[in-house]
Structure formats: structure tokens, C-alpha cells
Amino acid sequence: MTEKKLKVCVVFGGQSSEHEVSAVSAASVIDNLDKEKYKIIKLGITKKGRWFIYTGKTQKIADGSWQRDKDNLKQVVGSPSPVHKGLLVLEEGGWRSLKADVFFPVLHGIYGEDGTIQGLFEMACVKYVGCGVLASAMGMNKLYAKMAFESAGLPQAKWVRADRHELEHIEGAIDRIESKLGYPCFVKPANAGSSVGISRALNRESLAEALAVAALHDRQLVIEEAVVGREVECSVLGNRQVSAAAVGEVVSASGFYDYKEKYQTNTAKLCIPANLPEDTQALVRQRAILAFKAIDGQGLSRVDFFVRSSDNEVLINEINTMPGFTSISMYAKLWGAVGVSYSDLLDQLIELAMQREK
């Protein structure tokens, strides 16, 4: 008797500013899932929040044209009811249940990586890949992630918080930031990823501009001192037992690893493993696992660090609970460096999802 294939629903797109990155990541995941093991359901979410089952070519997901492929779209909604176990599909005569064994939300940014869709999955009592509601929300919000890291004793760069309403009296906000951090500094929206909305400020004028840009993306802002050092990343995997992969280094061509360099120009150099002493790499791996546990992570995350030039201290930067899965993304590459293939990694993530604990 042929073994029944597991139904895996890969969710992509979404309403965030990282919609396009999500689609490229998801296409890569779909292409690398073992078709002998899994029956794949492709669930696309538009920028306006409409849900569709897509049955066309995966390449059209990657290039963004899937939404125009009307013959291969079926309208669906995500159901919070445990009775439906996932989705309701609109067909002639009404709605019918479409059940998946496990959901793989390859979604970056708000409404995907921030605990919201994870909450829907929890209500529906369905299995899903990745971190739960709390870990996703904390990982997405840089302010609360920093508080969790501080509580866990993880060293990090100096930082201050600002709120959008403070920009009504921007001179006072700038005075406060200058007194605590000085220049250069980085301004970030608290809830955004893939370097969206992040700017480097060198003086009062550029700081005012950076705050305005970040405030377009979120009402909570984080401003950090600039760390002179090296940017390194480490992938982690697991539920109760957590493993860390190789340590990789990002060498930016422009000096700032921004959205354009991550996903468009491909000019940054990724060094795997990082050219660091083994004891420093071991410390990065140890602190990556600690950071993952600090937010109560499950499944996967990529943890980003600075290695400060002045004293080689390993400073945590941030944690990404659903890192990029594109062909040039670091998460899978770091596991590949220790002998875990892309397809095997996807198998492990799905298995962890099936085993996840409440």
C-alpha cells in the first residue's frame, strides 16, 4: 500500500512590505519540498488580504504574476474553527472545507511573522511550521526582543526607544537620542524586517529624516548605537532540543546591509563559515540558542550578531523567526555548511511542526 502523502499548505505573500520577498522564499520552498512525500497546497495572500489557493506554475509565484493567473485561482478564507482544520474554499453551492496536515507560513513581516497568523492556526488547532504566537510577536518587535535578551543576560549595543508621537516635538527627541547614543546611529521601525525602513544617521538632519522614514512603518522606533565590527549570523533549529548551524559573516559592499543589497543587487559577500576564531564561533552558536530560548522559540530562527572590533565581544542584534528562504538567503546556507541539504532541512521543519508542544 502506498504511504499517504502529508498535505503541506505553503502560505506566501501577505499584507506586509515584505510581500515580494515572501513570494520568492515560498517558491524556493515549494520547489525543494519532496513531491514523493508531500502533497503541496499553495496558498497566496494578496497585499489587500485576499486569500487564494493557487494551482498554477510556481515560477509565477516567484515573479509575482500569480495573482493575474485567474484560471488557477480559487478564493478561500482561513477558518478559526477546529471543525474545518484550516481553510474554506468557495465553490458552486457554497463553501467546503480544505484540510491540510501542516501549514508552512513562509511569510515575512506583519500579519505573518508577528504572531497573528500563528494565533489563527492555534485557534483552528492545526499544525504549523515555526515559532508560536508569543515567540513570533516578540521576535518581530525589536523593543520586546531586546528586553527578553537583556533579561537573559545577552550583551547588546546601546539603544533607546522612541515613539511616533514624539516626532511632533522632534528637537527634544533628537536631543535625548544624541545624549544617549551620539553618532553614527541606526534608526529602525520596531516591527519590520528585511531592513525595511532602516536608516543610518550621521547628524541631526539625517537623524530627523531617519526617524520620519522609520515612523512610516511603525509607531514604535528603536535607535541603536553604531557598532564597529563584523556582522555574523547563526541558524537554529529545534523545539525542546535546539541545535545551531555554522556561523556566517555578511560583508556588505556599501557598508550597510540594507533591503536593496539583500534582495536586489546581490552585492554582499556571504562568508560561510565566518573567518573567526573557533571559540568566538562557539560563543555565537551558544548565544544564538540562548536568544531562541529567551523568546520561547520553536521550529527555527536566524539570529544576527555583531562581533565588536575593539574587544571581540559578541553582541546580539536581532532574531528572525521566519528568515528568508530565497536561493541567496543565509538560513539554509548555514545548515548546508554542516551537511544538511535544503530538502532535508524542510523535512526537519515539518517534522518539528508535527511534534510541537503547547
Contact 63, 56 (CB under 8 A): no
Least confident stretch, 91-105, 124-138, 285-299:
91-105
Contact 44, 12 (CB under 8 A): yes
Q: Based on the number of CB atoms within 10 Å of its own CB, is 13 exposed (0-12), middle (13-18) or buried (19 or more)? A: buried
Confidence of residue 338 (pLDDT cuts 50, 70, 90): very high
pLDDT tens, residue by residue, 23-77: 999 999 999 999 999 999 999 999 999 999 999 999 999 999 999 999 999 999 9
CA-nearest of 51, 190, 145 to 107 is: 51
The per-residue pLDDT for 253 is: 62
The per-residue pLDDT for 57 is: 97
pLDDT tens, residue by residue, 326-336: 877 899 999 99
> What does the CA dihedral 43, 15, 30, 235 come to, rounded to 10 degrees?
-140
Of 1-5, 96-100, 131-135, 194-198, which one has max mean pLDDT?
A: 131-135
pLDDT tens, residue by residue, 146-171: 999 999 999 999 999 999 999 889 99
The per-residue pLDDT for 357 is: 77
The per-residue pLDDT for 87 is: 94
Q: Based on the number of CB atoms within 10 Å of its own CB, is 172 exposed (0-12), middle (13-18) or buried (19 or more)? A: exposed
Confidence of residue 265 (pLDDT cuts 50, 70, 90): very low
Structural domains in the chain, sorted by start: 6-128 (3.40.50.20), 139-156+228-355 (3.30.470.20), 159-225 (3.30.1490.20)
Give the Cα separation of 202 and 2 in Å (integer).
63
pLDDT of 337 over the 90 cut: yes
The per-residue pLDDT for 2 is: 55
Q: Based on the number of CB atoms within 10 Å of its own CB, is 296 exposed (0-12), middle (13-18) or buried (19 or more)? A: middle
The per-residue pLDDT for 94 is: 82
Which 8-state DSSP code applies to residue 197?
T
The whole model's pTM is what? 0.90
Give the Cα separation of 246 and 3 in Å (integer).
35
- Compute the mean pLDDT over every residue in the chain, rounded to the nearest whole number: 92
Give the Cα separation of 297 and 131 in Å (integer).
5
Strand order in the sheet with 185-189: 159-163, 220-225, 185-189, 199-201
Helix (H) or strand (E) holding 219, with range, is none
The per-residue pLDDT for 51 is: 96
Give the Cα separation of 345 and 185 in Å (integer).
36
The per-residue pLDDT for 84 is: 87
